[in-house]
Amino acid sequence: MSTSYASKSLSAHLARGIVGFGLIAASLALAPVVGWISLLALPAGVLALRGCPTCWAIGLVQTVSRGRLERTCEDGVCRLEPARGR
């Protein structure tokens, strides 16, 4: 199982964020107008964000930094450094 939340492209990740946050905001904003039925959009928004807003934000950072950073560990100390060859 992968622990990466990154998307294949930044535009795809941002589109997922717009859909996810839009559905969550709409479900909460429309609750006084249409009642509890608007909350049915909430799970779809959470699904678009892959579980939670924090997961989406972590994925955004991973998507932006993909290929630019690498982790190196020596003697039990790990560092995040620019990728070699860039």
The mean pLDDT of the chain is 86
pTM for the full predicted model: 0.72
Cα 60 to chain center, whole Å? 5
Categorize the per-residue pLDDT at 1 as very low, low, confident or very high, splitting at 50, 70 and 90.
very low
According to the model, what pLDDT value does residue 29 have?
A: 95
pLDDT digits 0-9 by tens, 40-80 = 999 999 999 988 899 899 889 888 887 677 778 888 898 87
The answer to whether the beta carbons of residues 27 and 41 sit under 8 Å apart is: yes
Categorize the per-residue pLDDT at 27 as very low, low, confident or very high, splitting at 50, 70 and 90.
very high
